[in-house]
Structure 1
Amino acid sequence: MEAGPAAARGYITCVALVAVVCLWPLPTVLAPWWAVALLAALHACGERIAGSRFAGTCYPVLLAGAFLLPPPAAALVVLPGALLAPVEQRPYGWRRLWRTARLVIAVWAATRAHWAFGGRDAVVASDFPYALVPAGAAVLAFCLVLTVLDGGILALAEGVPARRAWRGLFCRSLAPFAVHGLAGLMMAVLWRSPYGPVAALLVLLPMCVSWWAFAQYHRESAAHQATIRALVQAVDIKDGYTRGHSERVGQASLMIARELGMDEDRVELIRFAGILHDVGKLGVPTRLLRKDGPLTPEERRIIELHPEYGHEMVRGIGFLGEARSAILHHHERLDGSGYPYGLVGSQIPEPARVVAVADAFDAMTSTRSYSRARPVPVALEELRRCAGAHFDPRMVEALVRALGRSSNGTGPGWHPAVTADEPSGPRVPEQASWRQGAHR
């Protein structure tokens, strides 16, 4: 555990005890055990195939159990899948216990809510649209329980401030869980129909296709990240003076793009551009990158070729899209004094104007062998002074606003203390690592 291990383990233990209480009346519950076994097997197979990265893709099966079974029996459906699914991060035992306990409680609460609104009779009678009301109540209960529990583990195990741990979790979760709930309701209604469980299993076919497509998307995304990581590591090895600079420029570029209201796909491309903006330094002689004294005019001209080198290196990487133009033009200036082509004003692509501000900001706030770091307010004032001549004023003000929220504790923060002598860039906590796919 990354923060507060004793508190986090105590929290997980308490959640596990509540889960046991939810299962405790099980021997006295009259339930169709063959249905429990079949649903549990379906959930276990789905979780095993999906793996820990895609945990949560089998929620429709759990919700179908909530619509078909008594609360303790529905909660029992969780156990095989949650206990046997792979766990990729340590501590394995605690993570497995956490995943199992939180789902047991959530399914139990969903079943209780479904019964409270007369959902059992509505499913048996296929009473539409009334059956949607108890199903909706069950989905809300399921989502609410997971949100409350996940916010707690974020605060205790991941070190997220309490005021941010729960922020937005419920809203982000509700739409995906509504889709899971509709699929689960369809399974339950078909299960109770004259066609029986076989018809209900047909609902899993389109779900399996969507799981496969989801997995393919994430594998492709992982390959993209690996490609970028390899290029950045190569630059960091060659130019040790700016180690961590690429990641910080990516972070600042992301903050600016989000502040400007760009959609998330474009934000991600601009983050890639920030991370890879100096990849062309791989084509510059190492002796020039590591030179302590002033550069001669000829040496400076050689270094100023790195945007073109970088553009050539990434030309064939299709997923980078407009990030490639930012790599080529991030040293252009609005007044035409930049390089490599001396573009003016709106001739400079918007992503390049974002990266230019992020690059200059990090250069001023980082300690190098040839300069000391400036305080963030001083660097921002310098950017404002140069806005309109060197930098796009919109990008500068977007960075100022984003950093202003960070200083108030409502943003991701900025950590300019990383220097060329440290082994890596700023660390961003992986806040979703304990949630195991609950909020996709």
Structure 2
Amino acid sequence: MNATSQSYQVRVSGSGVAIVLAAATLGLAALILTIERGLTGWSFAITFGVLISVGEMVQFRVDRSRNRAPIATSAALGYAMLRGPEVGVPPDVAQVVAVVTIATIAGLVPRVVAGLRWEVVISARRVLSVAAATAAFSAVIPNDMQWDGTWSHALPLTAAMFLAVLTAGISDALVGAGQATEAFNRPFPAALRDELVVLARIGLGMGISGVLLASCTSLVGLWAPPLIIVPLLLTQFAFRRFASAQRTYRATVRSMARSTEIAGFSSPGQNARTAQLAIAIGNDLGLTPARMEALEYAALLSGVGQLALADPSPGGASLLRNREERQQAAEIGASIIERSGVLDHVAEIVRHSNDPYRQGRANNSDIPVESGIVNIALAYEQLAGEGSGQSAAKAMESIGLGIGAEYDPVVVESLRRVVGRGFRF
């Protein structure tokens, strides 16, 4: 499974179906209760519903892990925490969940019609996390407690708002970690760590925006949402430009990787298959997202140094070259990558990607484990990849003979687990 397909894999996994069904059931139950009790605060429900829908429509992707909809999340959290003189009767838990569910669906429909990327699981997760936040906030703050200018109300309201934001973030992080464990075979602690890092970086900003939306709207009415959302929208457009630059950057790396195939130094698709396996091993070992990205780039570019050799390897099988030639190619490849000025860590991985474990990482902990991953991914691809004629069992047997000498034992065990789970190129 490569990095570009991860988001789609999450949507069709067993946990993804369960999340969507849970959100749909909760939303339907909340809608029925709201219809029975009657909707309070029509103007606030419509305003925040529109904000959530617009946020869903203009969602974007920054880190390749999933789409982000900061405006939708902030608006949903803000609606859940309305308490103030301008609000009157605040929405109850059922009404918040119903409005968020309907607005989310309304925002996704245009993306579906336009053929844009959409992730129903991520949207369903947002509904569930906002429901958890609303329940936490309502459990602490009674309906009659409002912003009235006194510390006796302001302190508990502020504390409850941040409790609600924290509840939403942690509940979503737990669900996301479970998804990553199922879909990508990442260790749960590592997956939870990654989710919490995202929570600290992006979730905190969305949570604070939600607090500002709730408090300002509660005090001054519906003049507040535009004043807070417009700057957030401008920031989102800046992030979208950054995401576009990242996509261009990634496409450039892939183009560089294909140069060895065009020149005949590697077989068609060999670099992509090597990266695919390297990513699977990196997921199994629980590498951080930043290290996973560097690992993928290193695997894609691991053969670029062969362009300086006199002639291509037969069928792209660099294992047929002697040790000196392989290490020379790795050094040349690292030098080429370093000239980009932004891939220094990737260059270091490639530089040591043909070092024998016993003479390399076993005696030098500064050599990144990613080098050992690329080394073994290259070997396995050439032994068991397309056109190799060898089975996975035979390839693992050959690799096993080099454990501790040629290959890092930790990485070999990870490869065994990955192959044992049915990995296929």
Q: What range describes the TM-score normalised by the shorter chain of this pair?
A: 0.5 to 0.7
Instruction: Kindly state the Cα deviation for residue 64 of structure 1 after the two structures are TM-superposed.
Output: 0.5
Instruction: Kindly state the Cα deviation for residue 249 of structure 1 after the two structures are TM-superposed.
Output: 4.2
Alpha carbons of structure 1 residues 4 and 187: separation in structure 2 relative to 1, 3 Å: closer
2: CA distance, partners of 1:11 / 1:270: 31
Q: 1:19 aligns with which of 11, 27, 47?
A: 27
SS at match of 2:405: helix
SS at match of 1:319: coil
Matched, 1:60 2:83: no
SS at match of 1:181: helix
**Letter of the 1:402 counterpart:** S
Q: 2:57 aligns with which of 32, 45, 48?
A: 48
Instruction: Kindly state the Cα deviation for residue 61 of structure 1 after the two structures are TM-superposed.
Output: 0.9
Match of 2:91 in 1: 70
Q: 2:215 aligns with which of 179, 189, 193?
A: 189
2: CA distance, partners of 1:334 / 1:141: 45
2: CA distance, partners of 1:160 / 1:129: 42
2: CA distance, partners of 1:278 / 1:291: 9
Matched, 1:134 2:155: no
Q: 1:74 touches 1:111 (CA, 8 Å); kept in 2? A: yes
Q: 2:139 aligns with which of 113, 116, 135?
A: 116
1: CA distance, partners of 2:16 / 2:355: 49
1: CA distance, partners of 2:314 / 2:119: 48
1: CA distance, partners of 2:43 / 2:13: 40
2: CA distance, partners of 1:231 / 1:370: 24
Instruction: Kindly state the Cα deviation for residue 325 of structure 1 after the two structures are TM-superposed.
Output: 4.4
- The count of corresponding residues between Structure 1 and Structure 2 is 392
Q: 1:123 touches 1:188 (CA, 8 Å); kept in 2? A: no
Matched, 1:222 2:254: no
Q: Percent identity?
A: 17
Instruction: Kindly state the Cα deviation for residue 191 of structure 1 after the two structures are TM-superposed.
Output: 1.5
Within 5 Å, give how 1:78-117 maps onto structure 2: 78-85=101-108, 103-104=126-127, 106-117=129-140
Higher helix fraction (1 or 2): 2
Alpha carbons of structure 1 residues 7 and 232: separation in structure 2 relative to 1, 3 Å: same
Alpha carbons of structure 1 residues 11 and 234: separation in structure 2 relative to 1, 3 Å: same
Alpha carbons of structure 1 residues 398 and 17: separation in structure 2 relative to 1, 3 Å: closer
Q: 1:254 touches 1:267 (CA, 8 Å); kept in 2? A: yes
Matched, 1:276 2:301: yes
1: CA distance, partners of 2:265 / 2:206: 49
Unpaired segments of 5 or more residues in structure 2?
Answer: 1-7, 83-89
Match of 1:430 in 2: none
Alpha carbons of structure 1 residues 262 and 334: separation in structure 2 relative to 1, 3 Å: same
Q: 1:168 aligns with which of 163, 167, 192?
A: 192
2: CA distance, partners of 1:79 / 1:231: 45
Q: 1:322 touches 1:351 (CA, 8 Å); kept in 2? A: no
**Letter of the 2:207 counterpart:** G
Within 5 Å, give how 1:22-421 maps onto structure 2: 22-27=30-35, 28-51=37-60, 54-58=67-71, 59-68=73-82, 69-71=90-92, 72-75=94-97, 76-85=99-108, 103-104=126-127, 106-118=129-141, 120-125=143-148, 127-139=153-165, 142-143=168-169, 168=192, 172=196, 175=200, 177=203, 179-193=205-219, 195-208=220-233, 210-236=235-261, 238-239=263-264, 242-250=267-275, 264-282=289-307, 289-290=314-315, 306-307=329-330, 310-311=333-334, 313-328=336-351, 330-331=353-354, 350=368, 353-354=371-372, 357-358=375-376, 361-362=379-380, 365-366=383-384, 372=390, 374-376=394-396, 378-386=398-406, 396-403=408-415, 406=418, 415=423
**Letter of the 1:134 counterpart:** A
Instruction: Kindly state the Cα deviation for residue 152 of structure 1 after the two structures are TM-superposed.
Output: 8.9
2: CA distance, partners of 1:296 / 1:55: 46
**Letter of the 1:74 counterpart:** V
Q: 1:119 touches 1:131 (CA, 8 Å); kept in 2? A: no
